[in-house]
Amino acid sequence: MCGIAGILSSMNRARPDRAELHSMVAVLGHRGPDGSGFHLDGPVGLGHARLSIIDMESGDQPIHNEDRTVWVVLNGEIFNYVELRDSLMSEGHGFYTQSDTEVIVHLYERHGDRFVDFLNGQFAIALWDATRKRLILARDRTGMRPLFYAQSGDRLYFASEVKALLLNPEIPRRLDPVALAQTFTFWAPLESQSAFEGIHSLPPGHTLTAEAGRTRLCRYWDWTFPDETPGRARTPDDAAEELRAILIDAVRLQLRADVPVGAYLSGGLDSSIITTVIRNCTQTPLRTFSVTFEDAEFDEAPYQRALSQRLGTSHTEVMCRRSDIAEMFPRLVWHVETPILRTAPAPLMMLSGLVRASGYKVVLTGEGADEVFAGYDIFKEAKIRRFWARQPASSIRPRLFERLYPYLRHSPSAGGAFTRSFFGQGMEGAGEPCFGHRPRWTTTQRILRYLAPDMRSRIGAYDPVAAFERTLPSSIGRWAPLARDQYVEAHTLLSGYLLSAQGDRVAMANSIEARYPFLDHRLIEFASTLPPGFKLRGLAEKAILKDAFRDMVPEAIRRRTKQPYRAPDSASFFSDGKPCDYVADLFSEARIREAGYFAPRAVAQLFEKCRKGNAIGFADNMAFVGVLSTMLLHESLVRTLPTPDSAPARTAETLAH
């Protein structure tokens, strides 16, 4: 894992210089503390901050081809580089390193812009073709690694994180009202946007080519599903066997490193499968890491410890208290670079710190299994709602919701009237692609009521859901309902929030590379061809995945109801009704009014409700965390020019004044 940055100038602009690149790379130092490298060639400058994982001795970047006409910087890993290297060498290509990065320049020589099709990995790439004077930016298929860009006059800037782009005085340090509307709907900006005006995110599965003063965005991969048809192409047993083989191979590839590799152990099915595969199917020594909670509602320590003991792992855990979340939250927002609506990323940043302190740089996680194999409650909700929609007057069918959310203290399915009101929204649109997600989005959009009038005016008639629907593939209406739900989930929550705020950013805050075997594109493509009933069997989630590993994973974990990872939200910032200092300051009327994002009176009412401990629902908690994170983002990246030393300290006392 690393950080990349660069500049492409037109012939009419000043050419990039090393000082510019150095400042951009320096602010990304947490992504690559092991070294830096630069390449300047006329109109282009490439920069790299290295976290050395493969080829420790000769793998410094930028990397070039034999005649130095193609140069590349990579953030991430190419897991199938060994096989690609052997194939390219058999064709006569010469290598001067043992690095996974070097295969990229030779694949480009061999296949041109389609080089990305051959990569199995998680990556953000910048490639410069000096002969053709063209720059190619590429991002992995599911968005595991970030890549942002901005156009300023005749210059194109790009970097792994927004803060490196904000160093350019020509790029405004302003939050984008439209991006706020998207975040307060989907939990994150849409895939092509960032939280900042004029700064774009390269969408997952896309390349951006800049050549002859023009840019071209091209999709090279997407989640896709077959048209809904009866019949089965394979038996469940055959499918389970094939799934097992693909996942074991994905784990094998992702264990490749010249440094020790550990694994997260959450106590759930997905991480249990990954750790069990490492133990039983590879020769890798297994070191596991877990986060535990002082609040029993969120804690899964008994399951974590039970599996660790069964596998005989060297296991380390860190206890997260509410006060820890409050202390680290400002630093978290600085790294995440967007408003967030939950505190859940904070304990994961604490966990990555434990991994780093234990001498590890790489961990495998179970992220992605819920999207690929329909593990979330939202998929069950949508299935019940569609069943209910066929007889909307039924009083029996809504009772199926009572089987959901046994782990929630305040369940949305606990009361009959509320259940019918909440889950009964939009029943007339059961055939629409976003039907399954609309109740969730409606709840999240309640945050919009806290926006200041000026922000509402700037957003105007913009509709985030309508904007998202315009990006959906034309074929989605022919897919099975579950397939539609999975596609929407993959292009909103997964890429925008989970792989960023709970993935790349909290790991890289402590210079840790997280890897996701369940997001191997071969596994996604295989799972997408399976009948919906193989994944969601009745209301039993991830059925085929449980079948595939029935002889390896303990029955208690295999049959355990899915419990999403969560953390205490607004309650983390109060102790006996007293807010921590920086929270009281940022929620003051003067600070709210000065920033201009929110209506002071409405925010004051929300603050008081949370202070009294009366925020028990998702909407109030999301609003509180959303307001707080937006204010912190304003303080750390709008009012303040980012520098390598500007990340808030863990104690967060520097923000209180």
CATH number, position 205: 3.60.20.10
- Shared domain check, 548 and 509: yes
- Shared domain check, 508 and 362: yes
Chain segment 336-355, per-residue pLDDT in tens: 999 999 999 999 999 999 99
Residue 226 lies in a domain: no
- For β-strands 214-219 and 44-50, DSSP reports them as unpaired
Respond yes or no: is residue 610 known to be catalytic.
Answer: no
Residue 487 lies in a domain: no
- Shared domain check, 278 and 168: no
Chain segment 286-336, per-residue pLDDT in tens: 999 999 999 988 999 999 999 999 999 999 999 999 999 999 999 999 999
Q: What share of the chain is helix, strand, coil (3-state, %, to 5)?
A: 45, 15, 40
- Shared domain check, 162 and 106: yes
Residue 224 lies in a domain: no
- Position 14 scores a pLDDT of 79
- Position 560 scores a pLDDT of 82
Residue 229 lies in a domain: no
Beta strands in 31-190 (DSSP E): 36-41, 44-50, 63-64, 70-78, 121-129, 134-139, 148-152, 155-159
- Shared domain check, 246 and 207: no
What mean pLDDT value characterizes the chain?
A: 92
Q: Which of 2, 320, 434, 580 is catalytic?
A: 2
Total domains, the chain: 4
Rounded alpha-carbon distances, angstroms, from residue 536 to 78, 542, 651: 32, 6, 44
367: domain CATH number? 3.40.50.620
- Shared domain check, 642 and 616: yes
The last residue of a domain, from among 164, 188, 219? 219
Q: What is the distance of C-alpha 493 from the center of its chain?
A: 8
Going by the DSSP 8-state scheme, the letter that residue 598 receives in this structure is B
- Shared domain check, 31 and 17: yes
The last residue of a domain, from among 431, 454, 479? 479
Chain segment 39-55, per-residue pLDDT in tens: 999 999 999 999 888 87
Give this prediction's pTM: 0.95
The last residue of a domain, from among 558, 587, 605? 558
- Shared domain check, 209 and 254: no
Residue 231 lies in a domain: no
Residue 367 lies in a domain: yes
Consecutive H or E run containing 575: strand 574-575
- Shared domain check, 200 and 68: yes
- Position 155 scores a pLDDT of 94
**Structure-token pair, residue 171:** 């790029």
Going by the DSSP 8-state scheme, the letter that residue 24 receives in this structure is H
Average pLDDT for 466-489:
97
- Shared domain check, 158 and 177: yes
- Shared domain check, 261 and 174: no
Label residue 416 by pLDDT band (50, 70, 90): low
H helix runs in 480-577, sequence order: 481-489, 505-508, 521-528, 532-535, 543-548, 555-558
Residue 488 lies in a domain: no
- Shared domain check, 403 and 366: no
426: phi then psi, degrees, rounded to nearest 5 = 65, 30
The domain of 444 spans 376-479
- Position 653 scores a pLDDT of 40
504, pLDDT greater than 80: yes
Residue 565 lies in a domain: no
Residue with token string 């234990």: 358
